[in-house]
């Protein structure tokens, strides 16, 4: 897979001072934000072997680097969407 060139003007952005950056759409992080914030540590990962349809795997790889994480995110979204239906063990 070829790396795509960066389309932004990184030199111009690097030279930009903070005073030239528009932060107006970012909400302030006040004391209430930090009082209510919580640290969320994702559960550990386990290695396994899984068989996927070739076209599905190719599509995931075609999306770019990190297809393993993408698979995990897809499965997590499904898992979280169906938590209320889970049967107790």
Domain ranges of the chain: 46-89
Rounded to two decimals, the pTM is 0.51
| Helices 67-81, 54-62: crossing angle, 10 deg rounding | 110
**C-alpha–C-alpha distance, residues 75 and 68, integer Å:** 11
The per-residue pLDDT for 85 is 74
Q: Is the pLDDT of residue 65 over 70?
A: yes
| pLDDT class of 81 with cuts at 50, 70, 90 | very high
CA dihedral 72, 64, 14, 16 (to 10 degrees): -80
Instruction: Give per-residue pLDDT as tens, 30-61.
Output: 998 899 899 988 889 999 999 999 999 999 99
**How far from 25 is each of 16, 22, 28, 73, CA to CA, in Å?**
18, 8, 9, 27
Average pLDDT, the chain: 87
| 26 DSSP 8-state letter | S
> Residues 3-20: what's their mean pLDDT?
80
């Amino acid at each position: 897979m070829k790396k795509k060139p960066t389309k932004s003007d990184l030199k111009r952005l690097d030279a930009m001072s903070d005073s030239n950056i528009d932060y107006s759409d970012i909400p302030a992080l006040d004391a209430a934000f930090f009082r209510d914030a919580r640290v969320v540590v994702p559960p550990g990962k386990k290695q396994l072997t899984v068989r996927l349809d070739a076209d599905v795997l190719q599509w995931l790889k075609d999306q770019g680097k990190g297809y393993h994480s993408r698979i995990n995110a897809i499965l997590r979204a499904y898992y979280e969407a169906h938590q209320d239906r889970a049967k107790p063990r």
